[in-house]
């Protein structure tokens, strides 16, 4: 897994109003920030990825969220 800090590449803004944790949205421009370890991952990751604490784990176009209440949904744009 690559440890790339996406904040160096993208500008992130939280999605407002905050989506319901029970049904988190997915999309190419949507990213999840783990509130436990502050790692940012794409909501549709195509390579294996995980946050440090293990709340977000994904790959192959799917991201699994262990604690949805500990996730901030953000929209990202290239800098």
Confidence (pLDDT) at 1: 62
Confidence (pLDDT) at 15: 97
d(CA 30, CA 11): 12
Task: Tell me the per-residue pLDDT of 12-23, one tens digit each, with 9 for 90 and over.
Answer: 999 999 999 999
Confidence (pLDDT) at 3: 77
Q: Which residues of the chain have pLDDT under 70?
A: 1-2
3-state secondary structure the chain: CCCCCHHHCEEEEECCCCCCHHHCCCCCCEEEEECCCCCEEECCCCCCEECCCCCEEEECCEEEECCHHHEEEEEEEEC
Centre a 10 Å sphere on the Cβ of residue 23 and count the other Cβ atoms it contains.
7
Residue with tokens 């944790």: 21
| 26: phi then psi, degrees, rounded to nearest 5 | -125, 155
């Amino acid at each position: 897994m690559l440890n790339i800090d996406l904040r160096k590449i993208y500008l992130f803004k939280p999605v407002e109003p905050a989506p319901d944790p029970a049904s988190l949205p997915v999309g190419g421009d949507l990213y999840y920030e783990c509130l436990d370890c502050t790692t940012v991952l794409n909501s549709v990751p195509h390579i294996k990825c995980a946050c440090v604490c293990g709340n977000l784990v994904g790959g192959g176009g799917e991201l699994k969220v262990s604690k949805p209440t500990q996730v901030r949904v953000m929209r990202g744009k290239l800098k």
